[in-house]
Structure 1
Amino acid sequence: WDDLILVGRAGTQNLLSPSYLFDDHDGHVMPGGFLLGGLITRAAPLVWFWPALSLVLLQLLAWLALLRTLHIILGRRPVLLVPWTFALFTPLGLPGFAWWAAGLNSLPMLAALAWFCGDAILLVRTGNRRYLATGLAAFLGGLLFFEKAAVIPFVGFAMVALLYYVAGERDWLRTVWRRGTGLWVSAGVLLAGWVAVYLVVVDQQRWSWDLTMTWNLLRRSFTHGIVPGLVGGPWQWQRWAPASPWAVPPTTVMTLGWLALAAVVVVSVLRKRRLAPVWLAALGYAAVCQVPIYLMRSSRFTALELAQTLRYQPDLVFVLALLCAVGLCAPNRVTPLLDATRLRAVAVGGACALFVASSLYSSWTFLASWRDNPTKAYLQNVRAALADARVTSSAPLLDQEVDPLILQRVAWPENLASHMFALIRDRPQFASGTTRLRMLDMTGRLIGAKVTWVRTIRPGPTPSCGYLAQPDSPVTMPLDGPLLPSDWTVELNYLANTEGTITLTLSDGPETRVPVLPGLNRVYVRLPGAGDAITVRARTAALSVCLASGPVGYLAPA
């Protein structure tokens, strides 16, 4: 549903304002993502071709950046296809590409990570300062889209250091630090500045120190996510709308994943020397890249399925591919059985083919899990209904929440129709009051509505009038019971002597301005707040309004 949050924010805020660019978006700081998403939304609101195209282009950019770095490490060796095939097809990267908001987060960061690593290697190898500038630019670009890009300098240093270690460089750590000092120090300064921005923007109360749940989530991410993904799993997904799918790998693919991992470890140790730090780096990153996320989002109420969504695994895919390339540069042991032969080529090619087939099957089941998504049909129906409503009536449409299967209340105020459809031109105006009550049903059709009787305005004390509101004498209308905090709808029956404006306020809530017309009329008002009474004030000189009893509640089909 994050895609629709981006749409709502882009339609109601200034794209260049700090409040828009530096919003705490569920713990994410992504000004670059907001700006790019806002520009696309403003250009073609709710036309999903352009977000889809941006995802494809960003994914292509990330893959090409990875291919460049693999080529820098391995040269034009056919074995380069092994890590690149893994990165291209593994389902571990699917959730980072499946919807727009996720792609705006992760894909630029992946491109930046791969490019930075390539530039770091070239800087240390050649000493050309151009790679310092382009590497820093890539790092800054990654930070603008995803705060997780903070790992990029550390990954870059580790890749260069490990590459020199497996190549047999005697003083490998000092050499890498000395030759790349400018890049490492500059990246550290940039990172420190970004951390300061992040701490200012993000609510630090999100952090949890539930270490038991964090460990359970981390363990589940390995058993149900990473390990099955090594062989193209998980094969099966589950989804409860409107949430994203999570992996539910059968025992078969989990077992195959562990067996494949064990086989790769054994074969690599038998064939290559100096690989222990490479394997430790892979294990360490697989854990470290997830722990901050789980510390921020875990509690004793957190579902373990959070670890199975694989939302934060795409960067692990790129790191594993790069580490694989580094490992392939390690010197060989004397193992004639594993020397290059036609049989070995067939075995490697067959394993890659099976991996691709397994991954494509997981991708197909992932796509199938989204087929019950009602969003596309809902948005199409709403656009058609709004266009028709504009033609058939001049009355504004009472602002209201969209169906919770499209966007839930936790996304307020972006779940309001006035936000989601702000950029649609062919529609009636959204307002806090209307003379014709209509609502959007769960399919997006616009139907007649009524106000449910959750509470009732008690009859007023003034004979033949009820409650009399005038500019110098506001009136309080008691309800027959208290209202909890919510966005309520009031059916207000009134008699006014002239055209003007009144304001309505619950005991605990903001004022809502409502226009009134002369004569006996009815207006429906959206009134946020809580309490057991409604205060009415006349805001126009010489305006007198008599107010009668009526319901206060929610919208329901008439």
Structure 2
Amino acid sequence: MDTASIAPSTAVSGARARAGLIGRTSPVLAVAGGLIVLQLALRGWVAGSGYFYWDDLILVGRAGRYPLLSADLLLHDHDGHFMPLAFAVAWAVTKAAPLVWAVPAISMLAGQLAVSLSVLRMLRLLLGVRWALLIPLTFFLFSPVTLPAFAWWSAALNALPLQFALAWVIGDALLLVRGGRVRYAVSGVVVLAVALLYFEKSVIIPFVAFAVATLAHYVDGRAAAVREVARRGMRLWVGSGLVLLCWLAAYLAVVGVGGPRHNPEDMRDWLPHATSLGLVPALVGGPWRWERWLPAAPWADPPGAAVLAAWLVLIAVVALTIHRRRRVWPVWLLAAGYVLVMQLPVAVVRGGPNTAAEIMQSLRYFADLGVTFAVVGALVLRASPRRASRASSRRVAIPLLTLFVVSSLCSTYTFVRSWSPSPTKTYLANVKSSLAHWDGAPLLEQEVPWDVLNPLAYPQNLTSRVLAPIAAPGTFADSTPHLRMITDTGAIVEAQVWWNRRILPGPEPGCGYRIRGDNPILIPLDGPMLDHEWTVQLNYLADEDAQLTVSMEHGRPVKVPLGQGLHTVFVRLIGSGSNLRLTSGDPRLSLCLGSGPVGVASYDN
């Protein structure tokens, strides 16, 4: 085959593209720039409609508790993720504006802009500067497949760097294979290394880049594409391999390897859920309808007829392009394989008896598919047509592209309508106001409401951790002389101890239990208590200021400051048993302890 006659190859040849297409560059790039601006406006509306959600609160909580250069922050195993740079960005954003949503939203938009420009660069290298470039670019910019991962800040901290790096390294691979300049190998390796520190899924990048560079050679009709790409891109492939080895050592040291949690029988449900109900509708502008049960994130819930229509459209596009373009069947084979391989790790790692299959329909794990299918579209358009049909193709492409954008906008609207309700927004707004009038008496630890951060996240869902960025030192303690609680709406109100058990009256009249010296004393309760978090109300009379060590019969001890005179102090304990264990540690102290409740702190609704 005479490769010089292939139009796409001519369009992307370096010197001719730069020298001969300058006059035609401005209109295409101007339209591309306008599309990117429209996408940013749309995504700005999406970001502005959202708020901190689930893992976001874990990230900002850790940012509020640890310094930037801390292993507890950067090397934290976050549910199997190794993402020190994501934690670093969360730290910087939190320090700039603690629990102010506008700053994460701006960071998401900045990341989205970088990703869109990286994709534009990649498509320009695959197709040259011609109107056909706008087809895969429009798909990437408006496809709902990237929407859920963008809307959730903690997911965006993973997904946006992955998308940027995937498009960038593909572009570097194309340039390296084409011209052999070392700088593209260096650039690709550096971007890969940075992406790996945001998200472990970035390990796919060099393999996808190699496949795309090879397919670009193949659809151009060149012989020995695999060998040629391997030889010309050797610096990038070797450098990427070394980076992956170093990263793997760090990942295993921090996260390690756990056994799979899935049931093999569940795979029969999980993979069809992701493909038919999530990915395929999203590729044609769906899913049009989203379902949500608070506090879960939205998941795709397309109508059955729409799923069937999406499959028919996808099959028709694949069949039509194979019929009308030469050498594109391996491109679609790569796409199908990528979709399958992309789902398997999610099903294996996230699966388990307590995980619903709908997690696969949330699409947040599959944002990189937007870049991959933009590449697929570009490779199909790069391939030479079997016969000249530019005018008819254009008449078909423009209406279909318009229909795709309208469909995607409908899906975006329904997603935002489902995503925007947020009990967290009300809770944090009220807590901020309440803490601004905090009078200095510490609050006992408690969990945030379940619809703000689920108990499955324990202990990350404790108030002292979630509210660390906005809580002054001493706001939370293990004991307090004034028992108050934070309500589910974020107000700080008076509280009391529910009488699950009680301290039995002591043997000494007028004193109860006399505690002196440093020998531990067991204070009996009127029944056993299970291993749990309990609040103890200690009513005491002390002859001087002192410190008392208190614990359940089986549990962690807590040091409690005491004041001289007759007082009450409330202590949060974790443990079990039928007794309390008290130790003064001061031989001069004489303390009388009366009866009181031991149970769960509560407030009147």
Shift of 1:425: 5.8
TM-superposed deviation, 1:480: 2.6
Query: Are positions 1:82 and 2:128 aligned together?
Result: no
- Identity percentage over the alignment? 46
Choose from 149, 155, 159 the match for 1:102: 155
Aligned counterparts of 1:445 and 1:182: Cα–Cα separation in 2: 59
Q: TM-score, normalised by structure 2?
A: 0.88
Q: What corresponds to 2:37 in structure 1?
A: none
Name which of 349, 361, 370 aligns with 1:317.
370
Q: What amino acid is the match of 2:584? A: A
The 5 Å alignment of 1:146-295 reads 146-205=199-258, 207-208=260-261, 210-295=263-348
Give the aligned partner of residue 422 of structure 1: 468
SS of aligned partner of 2:573: strand
Match among 435, 440, 444 for residue 386 of structure 1: 435
Tell me which residue corresponds to 1:486.
532
Aligned positions of 1:289-304 closer than 5 A: 289-304=342-357
The answer as to whether partners of 2:518 and 2:586 remain within 8 angstroms in 1 is: no
Shift of 1:37: 0.5
C-alpha distance in structure 1 between counterparts of 2:247 and 2:472, whole Å: 42
Pair 1:326 & 2:379 matched:
yes
Is the 1:507–1:533 contact (alpha carbons within 8 Å) kept by the matching residues of 2?
yes
Closer/same/farther in 2, CA of residues 10 and 217 from structure 1, 3 Å limit: same
Which amino acid counterpart does residue 390 of structure 2 have in structure 1? A
Q: Which residue of 1 aligns with 2:424?
A: 375
Residues 324-353 of structure 1 deviation map (CA, whole Å, 9 limit, x = unaligned): 21122112113x6xx011x53232111111
* 2:575 pairs with 1:526: no
Q: Please, which runs of 5 or more residues in structure 1 have no aligned partner?
A: none
* AA partner of residue 265 (structure 1): V
5+ long unaligned stretches in structure 2: 1-53
Kindly provide the amino acid, as one letter, of the partner of residue 308 in structure 1. Answer: Q
CA deviation after TM superposition for structure 1 residue 541, in Å: 4.4
What residue identity is the alignment partner of 1:176?
V
Partner amino acid, structure 2, of 1:362: S
TM-superposition CA deviations, 1:207-260 (whole Å, max 9, x none)? 235332234211210010011112211111111222211111111321221111
Q: Within the alignment, does 1:459 sit opposite 2:512 as a pair?
A: no
Structure 2 CA distance for partners of 1:539 and 1:483, relative to 1, 3 Å: same
> Deviations 1:130-165 (Å, cap 9, x if unpaired)?
001100111011101000001001011001011111
Distance 1:445 1:539, change over 3 A: same
Task: Flag the 1:545–1:401 CA change in 2: closer, same or farther, 3 A.
Answer: same
Change (3 A) 1:428 1:192: closer
Q: Residue type matched to 1:364 in 2?
A: Y
Q: What's 2:409 paired with?
A: 360
In structure 2, how many angstroms separate the alpha carbons of the residues matched to 1:427 and 1:198?
Answer: 34
1:488-508 residue CA offsets vs partner (Å, 9 max, x unmatched): 211111111110111111123
Partner of 1:369, secondary structure, is: helix
Aligned partner of residue 543 in structure 1, secondary structure: strand
Q: Which of 491, 499, 507 is the aligned partner of 2:553? A: 507
Equivalent position of 2:61 in the other structure: 8
CA drift of 1:300 comes to 4.2
CA contact (8 A) 2:262 2:353 kept: no
Give the equivalent residue in structure 1 for 2:521.
475
Letter in 2 for 1:379: L
**Helix, strand or coil for the counterpart of 1:308?**
helix
- Are the aligned partners of 2:541 and 2:592 in contact in 1 as well (CA < 8 Å)? yes
Equivalent position of 2:176 in the other structure: 123
**In structure 2, distance between residues paired with 1:99 and 1:302:** 19
Contact 1:231 1:253 in 2 (8 A): no
State the Cα RMSD in Å.
Answer: 1.6
- 1:39-63 CA-to-partner distances (Å, cap 9, x unmatched) read 1101210111111000000011111
Q: Does 1:345 align with 2:414?
A: no
Name the amino acid aligned to 1:240.
W
1:445 matched to 2:495? The reply is no
Among 398, 416, 423, which residue is 2:444 paired with?
A: 398
1:463 Cα deviation from its structure 2 partner: 3.0
The number of residue pairs the alignment matches comes to 551
CA deviation digits over 1:44-97, x for unaligned, max 9? 101111110000000111111011000011001111111111111111111111
Question: Contact conserved, 1:398 with 1:431, CA < 8 A, in 2?
Answer: yes
Give the partner amino acid of 1:382. Answer: V
- Deviation of 1:459 (Å): 2.4
TM-score by length of 1: 0.96
Alpha-carbon distance in structure 1 between the residues aligned to 2:593 and 2:586: 16
Please state how far the C-alpha of 1:176 moved relative to its aligned partner: 0.5
Q: Which moved more, 1:211-220 or 1:35-44?
A: 211-220
The farther-off stretch of 345-354 and 73-82 is 345-354
Contact 1:116 1:152 in 2 (8 A): yes
Report Cα offsets for 1:181-213 as digits up to 9, x if no partner.
111111011112212222222253352353322
Supply the distance in 2 between the matched residues of 1:454 and 1:298 (Cα, whole angstroms).
Answer: 38
Displaced runs of 4 or more, over 3 A: 425-428
Structure 2 Cα separation of the partners of residues 515 and 426 of structure 1 = 20
- Give 3-state SS (helix, strand or coil) of 2:592's partner: strand
1:271-322 alpha-carbon deviations (Å, 9 max, x no partner): 1111121111000110111211211121344311111111111011111111
The superposition leaves residues 459-518 of structure 1 with CA deviations (integer Å, 9 ceiling, x where unpaired) of 223332222222322211222333333222111111111101111111232111111011
